[in-house]
Amino acid sequence: MAPKRKAVKATAAAAAKARKLGLSVGDDFPDLGPIETEQSTEENQKTVDLKDILKESGIMLFFYPRANTPGCTTQACGFRDQHHSLAGAGYQVFGMSADKPKAQLNWKTKNQFPYTLLCDPSLEALKALGVLQGKSVMRSHIFVEKGGKVAVVEYGITPKNSIAGAADFVEGKSGGAPKSMEEDIKAPLPEEQTTETENTCGENALKVKFTVNDGRVQVTID
């Protein structure tokens, strides 16, 4: 029975070890140098340097064991569906694994991922980020604020918990609304704005005119 209990605790132990050896909240994000993307080929290498990205925005970096497998696809599709809210909160999204560019590109094309996939077959960057369990990538995600401070570190999580945890962080940070939406709400109304629309249902057409003047809305129906 002892070996069975050990097996049950293996994932939790690996996650605890990763937290000890990897990143913690408040750390400076390491300089990983250029990392190949899914667009890279032998003839034309395409890379991204996350340190450069962090000068302009935050990043949300998620990790998965292998492209085009069920759990990894669930996780990646979850972040595909959250992409708008993550971008609105100020985070560029990147997926990362040890897969080669061609495998990543095929997977991205198949599932229409709107973000960049990073490729680290050498495992060097993945090791520096604390997401390796032996030679396997541990499912995880990290939020890093603009400027390079680590805000969230989640090692050894399930696909659903990764998706939900990221959504909770963004919602908590923005007060329940994407940053872009908040900016729209706070934007001042124009001094005067007129919009016309027609209702063509039924026998008689109606023309409705909305006029915004000094914060008040006037409706005129012709």
Q: For residues 20 and 12, what is the distance between their CA atoms, to the nearest angstrom? A: 13
Residue owning tokens 């590109």: 105
- How open is the CA angle 173-174-175, to the nearest 5 degrees? 95
| Marked catalytic residue, from 72, 77, 119, 201 | 72
Residue-by-residue DSSP string for the chain: -HHHHHHHTHHHHHHHHHHHHS--TTPBPP----EEETT--SSS--EE-HHHHTTTSEEEEEE-SSTTSHHHHHHHHHHHHTHHHHHHTTEEEEEEES--HHHHHHHHHHHT--SEEEE-TT-HHHHHTT-EETTEEPPEEEEE-TTSBEEEEEES--HHHHHHHHHHHHHHHHTTS-HHHHHHHHSPPPSEEEEEEEE--SSS-EEEEEEEETTEEEEEE-
Residue owning tokens 């032996």: 134
Active site residue 77: no
Q: Which residues are catalytically annotated?
A: 72
